Structure 1
Amino acid sequence: MIESLFGYNLQSIKNEETKSKTPSPSKHVLEPKRLQNITILSKALNATAEHVCEALMQGKGLSLPQLEALVKMVPTKEEESKLFNYKGDINELGSAERFVRAMLDVPYAFQRVEGMLFRETFDDEVVHLRNSFSMLEEACKELRSSRLFLKLLEAVLKTGNRMNVGTIRGGARAFKLDALLKLADVKGTDGKTTLLHFVVQEIVRSEGIRVSDSIMGKISQRSKNRTEEEKEEDYKRMGLELVSGLSTELYNVKKTATIDLDVLASSVSNLSEGMKELQHLVEKELHKDERSINFVQCMKSFLNYADANLKELRGDEDRVLARVKEITEYFHGDVSKEDANPLRIFMIVRDFLGMLDNVCKELRKSKAPRSPNPLAMLPLDRS
């Protein structure tokens, strides 16, 4: 009886302690899911609302990860209205809502965030675009100046014309590069040797003889005592080394084939739009706000820098596009308006180089003597 009347009820004590430690429930004006996202982002900032607001007023003091997190916290018009029109005690709101509410006291707070983020990422974006334009320019130079690539094209044209003697396809003066991708489809009577194998074998031998005559033949007397079969092996070895190096020689051509020109163009356009938005914020919205003078001065300095860089970037873009058009017309004649991808020529060459590398690997493994094969006819463009 004494125990039941006067003994400690441990469970009730724990409940009382837990109850006393539990803060009064916060009031919320934002949707639960949205509130959860903002809470996570605000914790990731690792900064107080006071620090963030001061940084926004000054236009500096926030890192790239912090700015990226803040951009994701931009409230909708409805959310902004709810926070502004909240009549209760601000301290009763959750920490994330108090954070956003404090930011809204800064004029054009989230436009400032976007402007500061634009400035933070501007240089990296410009460097990326310049590198891409430089790669395109180098790819054009590589295609135009590669002696070995032109030799391969010449061999394809001569082989096709030789096969088509006496037909309407004979005597062609040129062909579109698309035909290069069909060379592996044209097979000889043995069912194995393709027209690509045949052309590569011819180039390998002619290049091997050229190197042998210009270097090996002059410095090595042993070749005089070698058999014809041994000489052929030497030609093959030296020629294969040269032809296999074409992929390295056209390195930028292959890399350019992965570029999306539309993405590059939109990136330049996006930079221009971002700069216009920041100019509007600085020169129109905050121009007469005395509290924002530090932000305005900070951003005006950046805008002058960005404007100069964008002018150079547009010049690079125009110059490179002209070079791409020029190289396409050099190999394909008049550029078709129907061709949606101006960089298609580089994609064709990249795929052809992949086929060429495979043939070279097969020829390295092959010990069989070289012999011509009767081959099917290659469709050529007489234009």
Structure 2
Amino acid sequence: MQGSLWADAQKQGNQARAPDIDLSELESLFSTATVTSSSEKGATRRGSAINKPEIVHLVDMRRANNCEIMLTKIKMPLPDMISAILALDTSVLDNDQVENLIKFCPTKEEIEMLKFFLELMKVPRVEAKLRVFAFRITFSTQVDELRTNLTTINDATKEVKESLKLRQIMQTILTLGNALNQGTARGSAVGFRLDSLLKLSDTRARNNKMTLMHYLCKLLAEKMPELLDFDKDLIHLEAASKIQLKLLAEEMQAINKGLEKVEQELAASENDGAISVGFRKALKSFLDAAEAEVRSLISLYAEVGRNADSLAQYFGEDPARCPFEQVTSILVIFVNLFKKSRDENARNVEAEKKKLEKEKEKASAAGK
């Protein structure tokens, strides 16, 4: 309870007060109402497909095998064979061997393919360098997206905890619950479980025309109408409810691992020689800036973790039992149900007003 809205409310007195309730009206509507619980649905995330490494054949397999057989018949080092061809030395190569070599001269397509691989082979650990390059390209986007999501969670947490209107509505719901349960062990509660908010729309009046959520909105409209737009205090709540902390942790880990690969390749490329001088200079510049970004991101990530836990604690819940995703999901559903009931009440009031006006007009016309 310590640090929760329930504990704070007892210190703040009238600042978080609930409106006065007409107990006789409440009793007439809900005295025999029963509460049904709502179930929660869990979301599953499909694992990403694992791509198997693909084998690239530079030369057709059959052609490569035949070439290998031909070379075993010539039985000489390749440099000697090339020298004999260039010297037109008939003492080294006979006609059959030359004819076989003609058959296995590389095609234009094979030459282009081999040029590509030979160029890549000039660069030490070319695959590692390409992976570092790919990380460099996506780094800013990854960091920006992660920072945006983390900031959204922080903003939503702050908005919920600082909304005096939400606090007063929670106190009103508590007062309603105690009024309904008066005379029982539950009639003097100092707080309630967060998922109880979802039961307000399941609790129906005896006439079956009104739910406890409708009654809450009616009560507030009559006594404290300034609270009806409390949802405007919570502008980041819905966006935050769609963010999974587990995925943010995975993104944070991926950025850290990518940075480790950058550091490893920077160290390894020291012995590459002249070919990697420009690469090392560009990579060092990127690493210096990236490390500062990641340090800031790690600090924000740790802050968000504390704030996410504090949101559950604010409602007197255990973060292990009621994690951030569940808290925000419940609050979003509650806000939407509240708005729906509020709007339905307003339409009913307007319809009733028009009905009375028509009745007055008819009565007036009849009097004339």
Please tell me the TM-score bracket, short chain as reference.
0.5 to 0.7
Deviation, structure 1 residue 308: 1.2
Q: Does the 8 A contact of 1:74 with 1:110 survive in 2?
A: no
Residue identity opposite 1:155 in structure 2: T
Of 314, 320, 327 in structure 2, the residue corresponding to residue 337 of structure 1 is 320
CA distance in 1, matches of 2:202, 2:209: 10
Q: What's the TM-score, normalizing by structure 2?
A: 0.64
Alignment of 1:125-136 (within 5 A): 125-136=142-153
Query: For 2:260 and 2:193, how far apart are their aligned partners in 1?
Result: 43
Of the three residues 177, 195, 217, the one matched with 1:160 is 177
Aligned to 1:288: 271
Question: 1:139, CA displacement in angstroms?
Answer: 0.8
- Whether 2:290 is the aligned partner of 1:306: answer yes
2:208 is paired with a residue whose SS is coil
Which residue identity is paired with 1:179? Answer: S
2:160–2:233 Cα contact (<8 Å) kept: no
Which amino acid letter does the alignment assign opposite residue 223 of structure 2? Answer: S
The alpha-carbon deviation at position 144 of structure 1 amounts to: 0.9
Cα distance change, pair 75–105 in 1 and its aligned pair in 2 (3 A)? farther
CA displacement at 1:105 relative to structure 2? 3.4
The alignment's C-alpha RMSD in Å is 2.8
CA contact (8 A) 1:282 1:299 kept: yes
2:328 aligns with: 346
* TM-score, scaled to structure 1: 0.62
Identity of aligned residues (%): 23
| Aligned residue-pair number | 260
Find the aligned partners of 2:59 and 2:305 in 1 and give their Cα distance: 50
- Please tell me the residue identity of whatever aligns with 2:220: I
How do 1:137-286 residues align onto structure 2 when only pairs under 5 Å count? 137-208=154-225, 239=226, 243=228, 245-283=229-267, 285-286=268-269
**Correspondence for 2:344:** 362
Q: Would you say the 8 A contact 1:187–1:194 is kept in 2?
A: yes
Q: Deviations over 1:153-191 (max 9, x none)?
A: 111100110010111211011001111111100000111
Structure-2 change in CA distance of 1:94 and 1:366 (3 Å)? farther
Q: Give the Cα–Cα distance (whole angstroms) in 1 for the partners of residues 202 and 59 of structure 2.
A: 68
Deviation at 1:327, TM superposition (A): 2.3
Displacement, 1:108?
A: 1.9
Stretches (4+) displaced over 4 A? 73-76, 80-83, 85-92, 94-98
Q: Residue 334 of structure 2 aligns to which amino acid in structure 1?
A: F
Flag the 1:328–1:101 CA change in 2: closer, same or farther, 3 A.
same
Partners of 1:147 and 1:198 in 2: how far apart? Answer: 21
Unaligned segments of structure 1, at least 5 residues: 1-72, 209-238, 371-383
Q: Deviations over 1:2-36 (max 9, x none)?
A: xxxxxxxxxxxxxxxxxxxxxxxxxxxxxxxxxxx
2:312 and 2:319 in contact (8 A); partners too: no
Q: Structure 1: which amino acid aligns with 2:124?
A: P
**In the aligned structure 2, how far is the partner of 1:356 from the partner of 1:200?**
7
Preserved CA contact (<8 Å) 2:58 2:110: no
Residue 106 of structure 1 deviates from its aligned partner by: 2.4
The separation in 2 between residues aligned to 1:365 and 1:176, in whole angstroms, is 31
